[in-house]
Amino acid sequence: MPGRPLDGLRVLEVATLYAAPQIGAMLGDLGADVVKVEPPSGDPMRRMGRRAAWDLVSRSKRSIVLDLAAGPDQETFRGLVRAADVLVENLTPEVRVRWGCTYDELASSNPRLVVVSVSCFGLSGPYSDRPGAGTLAEAFGGLTHMTGEADGPPMLASVAIGDTVTAFSGVIGALAACWSRDAQGREGSHVDVSMYEPILAIMAGTIAGWDGTSAPPHRNGSRVPGGVPRNVYRTSDERFVALSGTTDSQVARALTVIGRDDDVSRERFGRAEARMLVADELDALVASWIAARTRDDVMRAFIDARVPIAPVNDVRDILEDPHVTARGGIATVEPGPDLGAHRTEVLADWLA
């Protein structure tokens, strides 16, 4: 993306840990001036033994320490609120009241302010006062139930899916609210970001496909209902590939690759409604062909045939991949700021 499209946008972050601070980090990546307000003890993420995670979520930010339970710092905070365009918070209801950070109080100080509130279950509904995290959101929203082998237990992902999709939702909400304010002449607004509702968006196809009377959808390993071949396959050199070639034209080309381009195979597997009746058979044929060849040979054959396939990369593979490198998909970030390192310059910039 050319330039820094959010240059001049001021974002005040009163949030800790992982999900909500990613909203500030993403807005900072786009050029916003993000000021992170930390309590005297600092964001707990600083002390959780995950320095890389702290550097990740605190990138592109300036740090200021404010004791929002104290009078003088409350006045400073009000000044920053008046100067801000967006405020991101994930405070508990009790702390929100104690620190004077309810939406009504913030909006009274700055009617143009967009407030993005992040919580596990949202600000309304019977579960709104429950604590939570991305892990709970993944479980509550159904993603955990749909993850794992068909005959195994539900599994949590090994990465922070819930936290990260929450952050994307928060960024979208913040920018939509800013557009409403700045382009349509409205005042600020309150963006209520729950952590489980972005998971429901991931689950949308599964939810929409249930008829409401049969048994609810169940996890099925790397397979999906209605699409074959789609799976993770092991190669002869003990590597893995992910293949998803489920349209009729893709299957026709895949049959050629695996040496099954004959009348019988085309009749059994060529049309979607026919191959779903023998999905296990087709998947096994693809798996057997792949298992007899190295990953490089498998990749080359399916790519040449324009059947969608990708290697199952680990972190080393990602960092060494020429395509990732060419597009700048992985960047080195500066270490997160020292606690309170930018108080003087922030006050000068925002309150002058």
- The per-residue pLDDT for 334 is 81
Cα–chain center distance at 213: 32
* Contact residues for 292 (Cβ-Cβ < 8 A; gap 6+): 236
Is there a contact between 101 and 15 (Cβ–Cβ < 8 Å)? no
- Cross-strand bridge partners of residue 37: 64
DSSP letter for each residue of 289-343: HHHTS-HHHHHHHHHHTT--EEE---HHHHHH-HHHHHHT-S---PPPPPTTTTH
At 145-181, the pLDDT tens digits run: 999 999 999 999 999 999 999 999 999 999 999 999 9
Which residue is catalytic, options 163, 211, 314, 317?
163
pTM, entire model = 0.92
The runs of H, that is alpha helices, within 88-148 are 93-98, 103-109, 134-140
- The per-residue pLDDT for 15 is 97
Task: Report how far residue 148's alpha carbon sits from residue 157's, in angstroms, rounded to the nearest whole number.
Answer: 9
Q: Does the annotation count 163 as an active-site position?
A: yes
- The per-residue pLDDT for 49 is 62
Ranges of the chain with pLDDT below 50: none
